[in-house]
Amino acid sequence: MPTDTPAIQAAPRPGATPAIHRDVATRLRSAAGRNGALAALLLLCVVMAVLSPVFLSTQNLLNVGVQAAVVAILAFGQTFVIISAGIDLSVGSVAALTAIVTGYMASTLGVSPVLAILLGLATGMAAGLVSGVLVAFGKLPAFIATLAMLSIARGLALVLSGGVPVAQPTAVAWFGSTLWGWLPVPVVVMIVLGLLAAFILNRTFTGRAIYAIGGNEEAARLSGINVHRQKLIIYALAGTFSAVAGLVLAGRLASGQPQAAAGYELDAIAAVVIGGASLAGGQGRAFGTFVGALVLAVIRNGLNLLNVSSFWQQVVIGAVIALAVLSDTLRKRRA
């Protein structure tokens, strides 16, 4: 890994930390002790700050936020599904389909931009509902049902667009724009949806039911939770979150690409798992997922700053996923 001399000079001098900073440091350290993902993120930030002087600049941190946004939003939707002991492989395809539907409605059919966006969101929700029906009533394993949806949504995106990019209305471009000259909209959308996901998980009936279903579906059913209906809601939520991610991505690219977000489902799953959720269900938090998405973005951003080839980036990301989850597993086993 290439290093440059000025970065080493930028390292903070030891012993120069004021008391208030030490307090923050202690608290972060205790939070990081409980959460493997947060520890990994802090460690990565320290390493990157040492290796690259630009890393901690406001502009670069906002870049990290923008780069994290699409995966983070997909991952928030994925968090609902994974806590319920399911999985959704279709989130990337559904995001692409949403952008195509929105662009097609507005540009080809001349529907008003706001209505086009609503129809795009409805498309995402409908795709999630179909997966939910297959899982809840068809008793298909989530892996199979959403693998089918991955293919169907991608196929529909290609059919509708004819395989070429679709122009987007300016309302969609807003999702990729910047407020007051500095605040990127993708970051705002990511934070709002993150708070929404946390609210749903912690405060709503569906959220509490998600944990119960993931922890023990039979006990949840015998306690009067309508597991079928809740599964429909869970997959519909994942589809709707994917739709928002699709709009953000279309806004950033300024067009609807039928091949957009291919493979993002794996990044989304990785973010959720790095964030401490268990694929066995019953465990996971929106904040953990947020941290997981940031970990992925910081690695990509840092390696770009260090001019590491994108081929090697994939190797590093794979290693970090394994290490983050491994450290979490070891910590839990010791507890």
Smallest gap from residue 225 Cβ to another protein (A): 7
57 binds another protein (CB under 8 A): no
Which DSSP state fits 105? I
For 185-205, letters b (16+ CB in 10 Å) and e give bbbbbbeebbeebbebbeeee
- What is each CA distance from 278 to 25, 84, 117, 134, 146, in whole angstroms? 28, 10, 33, 23, 19
For another protein, the binding residue among 26, 30, 170, 226 (CB under 8 A) is 226
CA separation for the pair 268, 252 (Å, rounded):
18
CB nearer to another protein: pick between 213 and 295: 213
- What is each CA distance from 65 to 118, 171, 297, in whole angstroms? 25, 21, 8
For another protein, the binding residue among 40, 209, 232, 243 (CB under 8 A) is 209
CB nearer to another protein: pick between 137 and 312: 137
- 113-136 vs 91-103: helix crossing angle, rounded to 10: 150
CB nearer to another protein: pick between 107 and 283: 283
205 binds another protein (CB under 8 A): yes
Provide the residue type at 179 as one letter.
Answer: L
CA separation for the pair 112, 241 (Å, rounded):
22
Which residue's entry shows tokens 């999702």?
Answer: 175
- What is each CA distance from 115 to 111, 172, 332, in whole angstroms? 7, 11, 48
CB nearer to another protein: pick between 22 and 229: 229
Smallest gap from residue 291 Cβ to another protein (A): 21
204 binds another protein (CB under 8 A): yes
Smallest gap from residue 335 Cβ to another protein (A): 7
Q: Which stretch binds another protein (CB under 8 A): 61-69, 140-148, 185-193, 220-228?
A: 220-228
Smallest gap from residue 108 Cβ to another protein (A): 37
Letters for 261-300 (x = contact with another protein by CB under 8 A, - = none) are: ---------------------xx-----------------
Among residues 87, 62, 17, the alpha carbon closest in space to that of 268 is found at 87
CB nearer to another protein: pick between 36 and 281: 281
CB nearer to another protein: pick between 178 and 283: 283
- 185-203 vs 227-253: helix crossing angle, rounded to 10: 170
Q: For residues 296-335, which are near another protein according to CB under 8 A? A: 335
The binding site for another protein (CB under 8 A) comprises: 202-209, 211-212, 215-216, 218-226, 282-283, 335
